[in-house]
Structure 1
Amino acid sequence: MTMALPRTATTFSPPVMEARRWLAEAEMPADLPLINVSQAAPVDPPPEAMRREIARLALEEPQAHLYGPVLGLPALREEVAQQWLTAYGGETAADQVAITSGCNEAFCATIATLLAEGDEVLLPVPWYFNHKMALDMAGARAIPLPTDAALLPQIEAAKALITERTRAIALVSPNNPAGVEYPPELIGAFYDLCEAHGLVLILDETYRDFHSSSAAPHDLFARPDWGRTLVQLYSFSKAYRLTGHRVGAMVTSAARLAEVEKYLDTVTICPAQLGQFAALWGMRNLGQWLAGERAEILARGAAVRSGFAPLEARGWRLRGAGAYFAYVDHPFAAPSDVIARRLVSEAGVLMLPGTMFTPEGDAEGQRQMRIAFANLDTAGIGTLIDRLARVAE
């Protein structure tokens, strides 16, 4: 009798943790301090004003230490709804917002409301590996959706992949890992495709605060009955440096959130209260500071694009650069997972290979690398480019 695999055995090890193991195994160059561009996370704590507020809350706000509502702090849900009205237009109400323990939990909660065993979700390739892992562990199938030379998914390709088991299409914009921003018309076209086929569009906008355009990234919240088709995901981690507090959000119909509540009550009961109070304070008080953070991240992306010529001269190719990420083709004969390990010991650089963002055996993934550049200042980006340019075949 053949035993079925347990859910966790159906997927791969966490890529960022795998990359950290390379550090323990590598002989690091003594004259090259490590440049870690493997993880999309701020390395600095929240600004001092927010830390002081967190300290005050810890001392003076009893509710920060107690259970709260499963779907999140009511005032934070209301604040998200109000700020979304300004940012996107259309109609958004507090009962269409849920607060989650990070954006990954929001994705897992979403697919829990959608999928039965063997159902399918289309994921553009390269994909965000935690989305693939979540689908594996749910007993669902991640269907690779090819992207074009600009790393944008195509409507006609998606149409051809839809089957009777397809339940959703999941997009990430600005994209992780590719760094590209999906044009509003493309996002709208995917919404229309999902609506026409009775699918759900899962739109992960974790990096929306670092979009290069000040205009609304799409008009989906102005569509009639948008909550029937759209589940938008968001994270407070990147905007306010709250990664360790695990605070995310999802925006969809109140009816879907009633199903989401079942999942969240089973997994975490409620999001961490202290992080929610901090996120609320940040939304109300750190608008100007966040604008400065956005400007700095955009400047770093510009530094990658403007400084890439030395790598291009050696056969590297910049495929996308935006928000926290640059996505590149390397010029070497070996596959990217081999090159990534070499870069640790030869260049003092830790980055993730494209094989971690593509289906097993994918030829494109073997030529690609992701650079999470947001933790480097412009001088650090110059140093990174210089080190990579000096790596020999």
Structure 2
Amino acid sequence: MQMSHRISGFQCSPIRRLVPYAREAKKRGIHVYHLNIGQPDIKTPAEALAALSSFPDDIIAYGSSEGRDDLRQAWAEYYNRFGVGITSDDILITTGGSEAIQFSFMTLCDPGDEIIIPEPYYTNVASFANIAMVTLVPVTSTMDECFVLPDIGEFEKRITPRTRGVLLCSPNNPTGHVYSPEELTALLEMCRRHDIFLIVDEVYREFCYDGKTFISVLAYPEYADRVICIDSFSKRFSMCGARIGALITRNKEVRDSALKLSQARLCPPEVEQYVACAAFRAPATYLEDVKKEYEKRRDFFVARLKKIPDIRVSEPLGAFYLVVEFPVDDAEKFAIFMLKDFSHDGSTTMFAPAEDFYVTKGIGRKQARLAYVLNTGDLAAAADCLEAGLAAYRKKYMS
């Protein structure tokens, strides 16, 4: 039977498509260190876990399409602690940050419209764009320049009558770059000049290192009419499976339009919203300790990877990802080799090949995204596997 043209344009996620190889490796008794996916191993706050068993209603009923009032209020208070003047009316609860991105595309764009995006980018955005029939237009940032924002002139070259906005992720997945106030201001000014929107995925906002303070795009009220912020509980509180996110904007027309999409899917998950609200009651030390732990892991992992001969390693400023460039012909071929044909002391390492984190074809073929979400002992063992695996792969395929 004929499948839709829309689905034929989808790519399998490079974060998950090698899972069958990992599953087979585990069946053979191989331990797999998962650096392919941003699944934190840090415990969810006790306050949230306790809420799972204290849901007060005896029926899990439909909730409001815009989300629970208590959660939206708690989220607004969270932002206000950082001096960002947001009200609960500015917040639309979504089923994860993914739905918030998809709602943004479908609210702002007609089929065939364009969103400019710095690459490498969070690869699943390609699927959200396909669903909305939106074209992603890349502006390439490079490892040689530490993935800083390309010159604004490069963005302006790509603006056409079909351009509806720019999508940014900061702290960035997959590079770990944190965009500076100067970079944000330059983008916001460009968006105002061309009457387009700036969408910023700030899911990793807590994880900003080296003593630097994260600046939210919401901290620029003079640009409020053209700003959409994407947020989520997944990484902040280790609640990836709860699927609670938010679309946040002071632009009432955007909110009212996105609410139509929210009403079509009825409501976000009610129990998970109740749990998320409880997570906000976790002490401030919870997030402080999580940030310190990830910064420690970053420092350890970057230093260890740099000891591997001929590997190139980016130095992330935030989030919990980094990009490496392997001395191989094809990072995906190497990834499959690691899972299918290799083990070191009974273990191997899984990572996400980076080629599909680029819109532009042919870039990033030797690169991979690594998520340093494991404890330092496991990161050390994973790096040992990578080093041994690289030597074995190059001997077999490149000598």
Give the TM-score normalised by the residue count of structure 2. 0.89
Name 1:245's counterpart in structure 2. 242
Question: Does 2:209 correspond to 1:212?
Answer: yes
Tell me how far 1:216 sits from its aligned partner. 4.6
Q: How does 1:212-231 map to 2 (within 5 A)?
A: 212=209, 216-218=213-215, 220-231=217-228
Tell me how far 1:360 sits from its aligned partner. 6.0
Name 2:326's counterpart in structure 1. 330
Question: Does 2:49 correspond to 1:51?
Answer: yes
Tell me how far 1:286 sits from its aligned partner. 3.6
Cα separation, 2, equivalents of 1:9 and 1:26: 29
| 8 Å Cα contact 1:19/1:38 also seen in 2 | no
Change (3 A) 1:27 1:72: closer
| 8 Å Cα contact 1:340/1:350 also seen in 2 | yes
Name 1:151's counterpart in structure 2. 147
Q: How does 1:10-49 map to 2 (within 5 A)?
A: 10-24=9-23, 30=29, 33-43=31-41, 46-49=44-47
Tell me how far 1:307 sits from its aligned partner. 2.2
| 8 Å Cα contact 1:320/1:328 also seen in 2 | no
Name 1:367's counterpart in structure 2. 366
Tell me how far 1:90 sits from its aligned partner. 4.2
Cα separation, 2, equivalents of 1:15 and 1:47: 30
Q: Secondary structure at the match of 2:93?
A: strand
Name 2:110's counterpart in structure 1. 116
Cα separation, 2, equivalents of 1:220 and 1:49: 29
Tell me how far 1:26 sits from its aligned partner. 5.1
| 8 Å Cα contact 2:26/2:32 also seen in 1 | no
Q: Secondary structure at the match of 1:121?
A: strand
From 126, 129, 135, the equivalent of 1:132 is 126
Change (3 A) 1:47 1:86: closer
Change (3 A) 1:365 1:97: same
| 8 Å Cα contact 2:118/2:138 also seen in 1 | yes
Name 2:65's counterpart in structure 1. 70
Cα separation, 1, equivalents of 2:146 and 2:271: 41
Tell me how far 1:352 sits from its aligned partner. 0.6
| 8 Å Cα contact 1:170/1:201 also seen in 2 | yes
Q: Secondary structure at the match of 2:235?
A: helix
Tell me the C-alpha RMSD between the 2 structures.
2.1
- Matched AA of 1:240: F
| 8 Å Cα contact 2:92/2:255 also seen in 1 | yes
Cα separation, 2, equivalents of 1:146 and 1:49: 42
Q: Secondary structure at the match of 1:162?
A: coil
Cα separation, 1, equivalents of 2:154 and 2:315: 21
Q: Percent identity?
A: 24
Q: How does 1:180-191 map to 2 (within 5 A)?
A: 180-191=177-188
Question: Does 2:353 correspond to 1:358?
Answer: no
Cα separation, 1, equivalents of 2:159 and 2:67: 34
Change (3 A) 1:224 1:178: closer
- Matched AA of 2:48: M
| 8 Å Cα contact 2:165/2:196 also seen in 1 | yes
Instruction: Compare the two structures and name the one with the higher helix fraction.
Output: 1
Tell me how far 1:272 sits from its aligned partner. 0.9
Cα separation, 2, equivalents of 1:20 and 1:196: 45
Name 1:141's counterpart in structure 2. 135
- Matched AA of 1:35: Y
Q: Deviations over 1:108-149 (max 9, x none)?
A: 011111111111111111111111111122211111111132
Name 2:75's counterpart in structure 1. 80
Change (3 A) 1:317 1:67: same
Give the TM-score normalised by the residue count of structure 1. 0.90
Q: Secondary structure at the match of 1:56?
A: coil
| 8 Å Cα contact 2:165/2:191 also seen in 1 | yes
Q: How does 1:248-259 map to 2 (within 5 A)?
A: 248-252=245-249, 253-259=251-257
- Matched AA of 1:177: P
Cα separation, 2, equivalents of 1:27 and 1:56: 37
Cα separation, 2, equivalents of 1:307 and 1:16: 23
Cα separation, 1, equivalents of 2:64 and 2:232: 19
| 8 Å Cα contact 1:106/1:248 also seen in 2 | yes
| 8 Å Cα contact 1:188/1:219 also seen in 2 | no
Name 2:378's counterpart in structure 1. 380
| 8 Å Cα contact 2:14/2:353 also seen in 1 | no
Moved >6 Å (runs of 4+) = none
Deviates more, 1:107-116 or 1:321-330: 321-330
Deviates more, 1:219-228 or 1:241-250: 219-228
Cα separation, 2, equivalents of 1:286 and 1:213: 22
Cα separation, 2, equivalents of 1:105 and 1:233: 9
Question: Does 2:289 correspond to 1:295?
Answer: no
- Matched AA of 1:198: D
Change (3 A) 1:222 1:241: closer
Cα separation, 2, equivalents of 1:360 and 1:220: 27
| 8 Å Cα contact 2:94/2:268 also seen in 1 | yes
Q: Which runs of 5+ in 2 are unaligned?
A: 395-399
